[in-house]
Chains A and B, each alone.
Chain A
């Protein structure tokens, strides 16, 4: 090598790493780019060549009552699921990290068990459970289903953060006059809040586009993933492209707003 360089010859170097990276990016983003492209296509056919630019599909979904009600349902389910998940999950994580009790290892594994279960099985068993209880299928049962599915993720993230929490900070707070309640709100909570918010965003995203469990336990109403699925059953509906782009932009806006609210580097998942 040294000799050839000294002679001024430059061996041709193939940038394998660059090529590999390009392929990964292509694989990840090309399908999304295609969807975005066709969402502006004036023709309903999803094939090249593109006929012309149009906002027709966006206009159609935005005036469609079916779409708007599905969007509303999805938002309701995701917001309620996230709120309950944050409350129950934070308390669970506190209990699991701060206290020793009988069967603690068992409780810990039961908490994360749903992560390992196939969604299909979860949906099916929840459905038979609700039927067994005589519970009417509704958005409420969807929220219950989503909680079973999202809570483990939340608890995992929150316990990981709390395990690393320096308990001496709590002692310092008590020493300076904090009651246990004040200690939590003035010291623990502000310090773990970025992690909690980060985990809450994940839960929101998981719930918002959850399909399998929802499919089994929703009854007569519809959420966005359900709507997209029903639109795709017969043929490829070009409005689906527009819905996808709307959802993508919405989640990017969500991440952007979040990054303005909290320093993303502080989110330790």
Chain B
């Protein structure tokens, strides 16, 4: 395990009566790509701004590289920020924007020039030095902002929804570039986003936030496979969440819509307890006809089918609920149309019991 690079201790921040961040403990390892994920208003941006020094906490401390920086202003923190709306200086050229911090520190002009060129090469904008910022596309502007933040070689790079304003295609391309850049530079990245797919595809570790607190933290795979609550399950990935009741413990069994199924085992439950169960759409195998009663199956009727290329997404009505189903398709895979009777089969280990 690498040493801790950024740490917060019981950090709290309120705006008026709104508690944006509440007694939050976070530890980020050196060289880690950590993503803070959550819907708007969950406090993720406030947390990032507290780490960057743009807000002062009401309570708690912030440490960067072991030093208490809680009340250190942004210009004296070893962290640089990439802002959501780029925040490029409109009165300066691309090269002047990128070289801004070096010029402040009175670095020699020839060195500034070579380092700016190197940075622009790194973010794949060679030859853009002389451009004005208003001549740049969104993707280019964000690369310049990235180069400007990286030229200082900060210990920590803070990214506040940096791709939020970009088209899907450019966003996906930038995600890959960010990941490669992170691997190449080895510095700590703390990334804020509300886009769970983005969080899954770029991060070493994800912190899911809800109402100013950490709802869950872990690797993308852990969080996807073992969400700690219905909130996390619902927010990360597509999910089917159903009300259920525990009908047997050891082995664990639950009743869902009148049918009893064995499910993935879990401690601390008692018979008769109301719970939620999670089944991911890709865990449901769709086939034609009624449920046979063998294994774990549910009968239903196709309400909607959407072709997605490699997959078909179905909405299947089972009893009073609608379940999302993802069917991978290959040459010759039978697909189903609206109104067709189908049955959905699933493994017991794919049913996760959640208690909120």
Contact = CB atoms under 8 A, between A and B. Distances in A.
B346 interface: no
A174 B52 CA distance: 10
A171 B74 contact: yes
B104 interface: yes
A166 B86 CA distance: 11
Interface residues of B, number: 23
B81 A177 contact: no
A201 B100 CA distance: 31
Contacts of B53: 174
A190 interface: yes
B73 interface: yes
Interface in B74-107: 74-75, 79-81, 83, 85, 87-91, 100-101, 104-105
B105 A175 contact: no
A190 B96 CA distance: 14
A176 interface: yes
A169 interface: yes
B152 interface: yes
B104 A176 contact: yes
A190 B54 contact: no
Interface string B60-75: 0000000000000111
Nearest to A178: B75
Interface in B204-221: none
B91 A191 contact: yes
A187 interface: yes
Nearest to A266: B91
B75 A166 contact: no
Contact of B90 (A171, A173, A178, A191): A191
A182 interface: yes
A175 B81 contact: yes
A172 interface: yes
A186 B92 CA distance: 10
B81 A172 contact: yes
B38 to A, nearest CB: 21
A187 B89 contact: yes
A19 interface: no
B75 A177 contact: yes
B54 A177 contact: no
Contact of A171 (B54, B79, B104, B149): B54
Contacts of A179: 75
Interface in A175-198: 175-179, 182, 186-187, 190-191
Given A176-B104, A177-B105, A179-B75, A190 B83 contact: no
Contacts of A187: 89
Contacts of A174: 53-54, 73-75
Contacts of A166: 85, 87
B234 to A, nearest CB: 32
Contact of B52 (A169, A175, A191): A175
A168 B101 contact: no
A255 B132 CA distance: 26
B89 A172 contact: yes
A178 B104 contact: yes
Contact of A168 (B75, B87, B148, B149): B87
A182 B90 CA distance: 17
Contacts of A171: 54, 74, 81, 83, 87
A115 B100 CA distance: 41
Contacts of A169: 87, 89-90
Contacts of B91: 190-191
Contact of B148 (A176, A178, A182): A176
Nearest to A192: B91
Contacts of B87: 166, 168-169, 171-172
Contacts of B52: 175
Interface in A150-166: 166
A65 to B, nearest CB: 46
Nearest to A170: B87
A18 to B, nearest CB: 37
Contacts of B81: 171-172, 175
Nearest to A179: B75
B74 A168 contact: no
B104 A182 contact: yes
Contacts of A191: 89-91
A161 to B, nearest CB: 13
A168 B79 CA distance: 16
Interface in A48-72: none
Most buried by B among A176, A177, A178: A176
A176 B87 CA distance: 12
Nearest to B151: A176
B152 A172 contact: no
A177 B73 contact: no
A179 B75 CA distance: 7
Given A175-B75, A178-B104, 12 more contacts: A166-B85, A169-B89, A171-B81, A171-B87, A173-B100, A174-B53, A174-B74, A174-B75, A176-B149, A177-B101, A177-B152, A191-B91
8 contacts: A168-B85, A171-B74, A172-B83, A172-B148, A174-B53, A176-B101, A177-B104, A186-B104
Closest 8 CB pairs of A and B: A172-B87, A176-B101, A168-B87, A174-B74, A190-B91, A177-B104, A175-B81, A174-B75
